[in-house]
Each structure stands twice: as C-alpha cells, then as structure tokens.
Structure 1
Amino acid sequence: MSIPASTSATIGEIADWLGVPLDDVAPDEAATRITGAASLACATEAEVSYYDGDRRSATDAAATRAGLVITNAAGRERISGAAVCLLVDQPRLAFARVLERLYAGPAKSVGVHPSAVVDGTAEIDETARIEAQVTVGAGARIGAGAVIGVGSVIGPNVVIGEGTRLLARVTVLDDSLIGARCVIQPGVVIGSDGFGLAQDNGAWRRVPQVGRVVIGNDVDIGANTTIDRGALDDTVIADGVKLDNLIQVAHNVRIGEHSAVAGCAGLAGSSEVGRHCTLGGGVGLAGHLTLTDHVHVTGMSMVTRSIHRPGVYSAGTPLDTNERWHRNAARFKQLDRLARRLKQLEKRFGGTPGPEEDS
C-alpha cells in the first residue's frame, strides 16, 4: 500500500503535465480524479501506475485495476482495457514527473525554529527553513529555499545551496560546500575526517585532514552515507551524482557528473570515478585508481586496478552449492601451476598464446 498523495489531479490535468494529447480519451474519463499511485498489481481505479513493456510485468499489466497507466505504444497492447493509457516515450521518467506533482506536499512555513541554535555570524536566506534542534555554526550560509531538517548540524563556514534539502539528523562539518537542489537523507555525515594515519615507532599517529568536501548541484545522497573531507585536496562529488544508502566515500575521492553508486559500496582514498559511471551494490574500489567515463561495475565486484576503457565489468564468483564452491576453490589454487604447464606446452608444440585483455 502506498502512502496517500498530498494532492489529487484529474487524468486531463496529468495529461497536461506531460504534454500528452487526449484524442482517444472520453470527457468523463478525462475528468476521473487520481488520488495516489501504486504498482500495476495493487493500483485501484483512483490510482496511477506505469508500464514500460517489461515482460516480467506483463501479467500484472493485463490484470491491472489502475485508473490511469502511463505507458508506451508497445506496452499499450498489454494493458487492461479498463485503464486509461497515456502514451509517452519514457514511461518511468514520465511517472516520476507525475509523482513529483502528486506527492509535493503542502507548502511549509519558512524561518528559524525557536529551538534551533544559530550563530550570529551565519547567513540564512529569509526563504530558507531551519527546523527544530538544528545547530548552525559561525560563518555558515544557507541559500534560498533550502531546508535544514530536524536535529541536523551545520558546521562553521559550511555553504548550503539554493533549494537543497537536508532531512533529519544530517551532519555537515566545517567548510563543506553543497550545491543547489540536492537531497540529503537522514543520518548522512559530510566532512568527517578521512582515515589518514602515519607510523610512529610502531604506533599509529593520526594525520590531520585539512581538505574540504565539495558537492555539486542536483546531487542525491542516501541515508547513513559518509563522505570524508580531503586529506589535503578536496573530496569532490560532481553535479548530478546519485549515491545510495550506506556508502563510504573516503578522502580525496572524486566522482564525475551523473554517476550513480548503489548501497554498501566503498570507495577508498584518492580513487576517481568518471562521468556517467555506475557502481553496483557492495562494489569496492581500491585506493588511487581511476575509472574512465561510462564504466559500469556490477554488484559485489572488487576493483583493484584502474579501468581505461568504457564498458561493463564484473568480478567474484556466482553463488553455488557449498560442495561445488569448495571443489572450485581448491582448483583456483592450482591455476598458477596449470598456467605454467600450458606455457611449456605452447613452447614445445609451437602454440601462440592469445592476447591478454587490457582494461
């Protein structure tokens, strides 16, 4: 069951939002009021859903009770005849635009909550909203329309851009810069010290971290993700980057424009991710390596060397029965010996080894 929408709209109004003509929709159908959104399987006559033609959802599409389905020409043929369909090129994207309007929520008051503690040198735009129990440090600047959620901490000299929203309990430490229209989920920590250590006669000595975190515009950061400040230079998250929950971004990491990282990934210090890259859940990046633009690493892969060519990369062994896994693990230990024997045979019989792939 989805949460109720904060507003409702007729099918005709939704078509106007999307710029879709209603040539084949009867006036009474266009006047049908949509009050929420749900999946194809669960939607009711007053709810909107979407279908992109995926065969895995074909059964749900054929039986859906949704009052409105946003789909494409190919998907229309599978939709239940009872549903009104709006045809678009990118159903999921159009559906997202509709959700933004239906679930926008009522306008909230602006200003500083009485329980917030704001340093006298901080600059807060008159259209910003500072919620309960927030702390804002000296020299901080909060931009127009920004929202700082309950219990958040804004350190000295932090800059929060226009329209950026911090939900509850977000911590942004000293000198961090966050751009416009970002959304930062509860529990995120930005600007904590990186894991910088030096050996001192057998003991570890902490190395002060004196760089910043610089985050661009339109960045989303999931719950309980941490982004460390740079050791000397800045940690940089570029425009349009999307980070899932529970991600560790270490000091001096740089993530290029419009890249996306799924949950539980870990990016070690000074690693660089190019533009339009994706890292699946649980991916690990070793430190001081570079991924070029348009690299896609599948889930649970460990990246230990730089990747210089765009493409899809995977590592690790797929799940198997315990018996077979143990048998194959034992064989892995023999690979080096087998490779040497193969090389000797190639020399003996005149074979030519195939070229090694270089990423």
Structure 2
Amino acid sequence: MPAARGVALSLAEIAALLGGDVFGDAKTVIHQVATLASAGEGEIGFLANLKYKSQLQTTRASAVIVAPEFADSIDRPRIVTANPYAYYARVATLLNPRSSFLPGIHPSACAASAVPASASIGPQVSIGLGVVLGENVTIHAGCVIADDVKIGDGCVLYPNVSIYQGCEIGCNTILHSGVVIGADGFGFAPDKGEWVKIPQIGRVIIGNDVEIGASTTVDRGALDDTVIGDGCKIDNQIQIGHNCIIGKHCVIAACAAIAGSVTLQDKVIVGGAAMIAGHVTIASGAVISGGSLVMKNITRPGQYTSVFPLEEHGNWLHNAAQIRHLAKLAERVSELEKNLKILM
C-alpha cells in the first residue's frame, strides 16, 4: 500500500535540510508549496519570475522563498536563497515524498528471473529470462520486461512500460506510463521499389537519475546503442530515434521528434514540438526554441529559433509567397552591389 502523506516542517527544519537563511519566525510550520497568488495558511510561496514581484505584497502565504535582493521586500517569514525556483522544487520534494510500496511480487506477475526481496512488483507484470533488477525497484501493473534487461537500484516503472530485450536502465530512473524502451529503429533498405527491413541489433542504454515522461519512445540502435546520459529529463510523447546519443543533463520538452543518429552534447535544452533531422550534432549548452526545425549541426552554445511568427492567415500567405523569391532577390542585390562598385 502507498505510504500516507502529510509532511509538515518548520522553516527552521527546512533550512537545516536544504540551506538558506530564515528571516522572521523560524517556527512557522509549512505543509505545502503553492504559487504566491494561490497560497494560504500553512503554505509557502516562491518568487522565481520578476513579473510576479507585486504578489509579494498581496500573497496570503505563511512564508515565501525569495532571492537575496528581495529579502527586505516583504515582512512575513521567508527563506532567502540564491535560486528560489530550485529551492521550491526541493521543498516540494520534502513535503510530497514519492509514494513507497511494500516489497513483494503480485500473484499475477510472471517473473522468469530472480527478483530481489526489496522489489515491489505489481499485477500483470511480465519479467523475462536473464533480467537483473537492482534493490528497491518498483514495477507497476502491466509492465513488460523482456529477456536480459538490466534495471538499476531505486528505479520506478509506472503502469504499462515496455522494455525490449537487452536494454539497460541506470539507478534511480523513472519511466512513466506507456514508455517504450528499445523498440526497433526505423530502418529499411530500398530494393526494386520495395523496402527491406534492417534488423536493429543495438540496445538502449539509459543512465542514472533519468526521468522519461508518458508515452515517450526510445528506439534501439541499428548496430551501435542508443544512449541517454545521466540526469536527462525527457517529457511526454517524444520520439528518440535509433543510434541517438543524448548527453548528460539534457532537457527535452513534450512532442519533440529526434531522428536517428542525432547527438545532443551535455546540457542541451530542446523546446516542445521541436524537430531535429537525422545525423545532426548539437553543441553543449545549446537551447532549441519550441517548434523549431534543426537541419544542420549547431557548433556553439546559445539559443536557436526557426519558428515563423504567428499572424493573421492572409498576411502569413502573403509573406510565405515572398519567402519563395528571397534567393532570386539576394542574387539581384549581389549583382547590383557589384555594378555599384564598378560605377564608383
């Protein structure tokens, strides 16, 4: 059965666990986090965006989390820290611990491999031959784990996750409902107007502390492995193609599509619904805006955007028609510049 929630901590206890400086009554008890606008008694708000600064004066929160420059902007109890947003996330984790489950194998689960006594296996789970599970692994209902899969300590698989043969999952990784790890990559060879399937014999290797959102798919490699590095956070309904190499601590927002053999170096951020063409490399620290299309390598950090601005449909059609003639216009301008130099 899930462990009951209901954690309450004083500001002094929170600061002792997470650091930060307490101003005002350190005995103020907090049982939940909330926005400045919605917070009430027993809740702690936070200021992470300057456009909400005025809400410091109107919030009904029992306490707030603020950066040092706002330490004197409010009279109520507060915790001052350099990064209020990250601090809020850690407070939320303290006050809302992840549900824990009693170890054991549900009678309806099919476990063909040895399962540690610390594992919690839900109903209708299928575990293949040669599977290696770490300690304190939780596998919810309906998951299917094929032969020779390795899953590290502390992992959580929510309902209906599928992990294909030979894939490896690091420690403390979370896979949400409907995630598919290790399905065949999209590989077909043309032959006389038909398509011949190319066996996908690589694996998927996922590092430690990775979180993958619901209904996301990560394809196995054609020859080499598809790799996702430590600390990556991957949202819902994302496609990661075969032989991709995702570096450490990358963030990929919902509905992004990453074609095969793409390399994201460390700490790349990919916005929602972005599309990345195959065999592209994106440099460490690059940020891809939501909805952008990446067709070539990005060699330097920075923000990159290819979204055409939204406007009234008639204007959009007019501008789109002009874009088709830009190449010819550029050629004409270049020719005019040459002629102008001759005349001068």
Calculate the TM-score normalised by the size of structure 2: 0.94
Counterparts of residues 314-333 of structure 1 (less than 5 Å):
314-333=305-324
Deviations 1:218-258 (A, max 9, x none): 11111110000001110000111111111100100111111
Whichever residue aligns with residue 42 of structure 2, its letter is A
Q: Which of 74, 81, 86 in structure 1 is aligned with 2:79?
A: 86
Kindly state the Cα deviation for residue 106 of structure 1 after the two structures are TM-superposed: 5.4
What pairs with 1:278-293 in structure 2 (closer than 5 Å)?
278-293=269-284
Partner residue of 2:231 out of 236, 240, 245 = 240
Superposed, 1:44-193 pairs within 5 Å as: 44-52=40-48, 54-79=49-74, 81=75, 83-105=76-98, 107-119=100-112, 122-193=113-184
Residues 146-181 of structure 1 show CA distances to partners (whole Å, capped at 9, x for unaligned) of 111221111111111111111121111111100011
Structure 1, unmatched stretches of 5+, are 352-359
Q: 1:310, CA displacement in angstroms?
A: 1.9
Q: 1:203 aligns with which of 183, 189, 194?
A: 194
**TM-score computed with the length of structure 1 as normaliser:** 0.90
1:355 corresponds in structure 2 to: none
Contact 2:101 2:138 in 1 (8 A): no
Query: Distance in 2 between the 1:267 and 1:6 partners?
Result: 40
Structure 1 residues 337 and 19 mapped into 2: Cα distance closer, same or farther (>3 Å)? closer
Provide Cα deviations, 1:77-116, integer angstroms capped at 9, x if missing partner: 444x3x3101111111111111111111454211211121
Structure 1 Cα separation of the partners of residues 99 and 252 of structure 2? 31
Letter in 2 for 1:74: E
Letter in 2 for 1:118: A
Deviates most, 8-17 or 238-247: 8-17
Counterpart residue identity of residue 24, structure 2: V
> What SS does the corresponding residue of 1:312 show, helix, strand or coil?
strand
Structure 1 segment 266-305 matched on structure 2, within 5 A: 266-305=257-296
Equivalence for 2:209: 218
SS state at 2:57 partner:
helix
Structure 2 counterpart SS, 1:31: coil
SS in 2 for 1:145: coil
**Identical-residue share of aligned pairs (%):** 39
- Which stretch of the first structure deviates more once superposed, 105-114 or 227-236? 105-114
Do the aligned partners of 1:111 and 1:129 also contact (CA within 8 Å) in 2?
A: yes
Partner-residue secondary structure (3-state), 1:59: helix
1:123 partner SS: coil
Q: Is the 8 A contact 2:33 2:88 kept in 1?
A: no
Structure 1 residue identity aligned to 2:12: G
User: Is contact 1:58-1:78 (8 Å) kept?
Assistant: no
Letter in 2 for 1:104: P
Question: Structure 1 residues 5 and 38, CA, compared in 2 at 3 Å: closer, same or farther?
Answer: farther
Q: Which AA in structure 2 matches 1:128?
A: A
Cα deviation, 1:129-155, whole Å, max 9, x if unaligned, reads 111221111111110111112211111
Report the secondary structure of 1:124's partner residue.
Answer: coil
Q: Whole-Å Cα distance in 1 between the matches of residues 291 and 251 of structure 2?
A: 15
What is the alpha-carbon distance in structure 2 between the residues aligned to residue 157 and residue 115 of structure 1? 21
**Aligned partner letter, 2:43:** E
Note closer, same or farther for the CA distance 1:107–1:336 as it changes in structure 2 (3 Å cut).
Answer: closer
3-state DSSP class of the match of 1:138? Answer: coil
Select which of 30, 35, 43 maps to 1:39: 35
Q: Which residue of 1 aligns with 2:6?
A: 6
Deviating more after overlay: 59-68 vs 226-235: 59-68
Superposition deviation, residue 271 in structure 1? 1.0
Amino acid at match of 1:25: G
- Residues 320-359 of structure 1: pairs in structure 2 closer than 5 A: 320-350=311-341
The number of equivalent residue pairs is 339
Amino acid in the other structure paired with 2:261: S
Contact (CA 8 Å) 1:116, 1:130: kept in 2 or not?
yes
Stretch of structure 1 that moved more, 107-116 or 230-239: 107-116
Secondary structure class of the residue paired with 1:6? coil
CA distance in structure 1 between the partners assigned to 2:18 and 2:132 by the alignment: 36
- Secondary structure (helix, strand or coil) at the match of 1:299 reads coil
Find the aligned partners of 1:298 and 1:347 in 2 and give their Cα distance: 37
Q: CA RMSD of the aligned region, Å?
A: 1.7
| Unmatched segments (≥5 aa) in structure 2 | none
Deviation, structure 1 residue 5: 5.2
Distance 1:87 1:255, change over 3 A: same
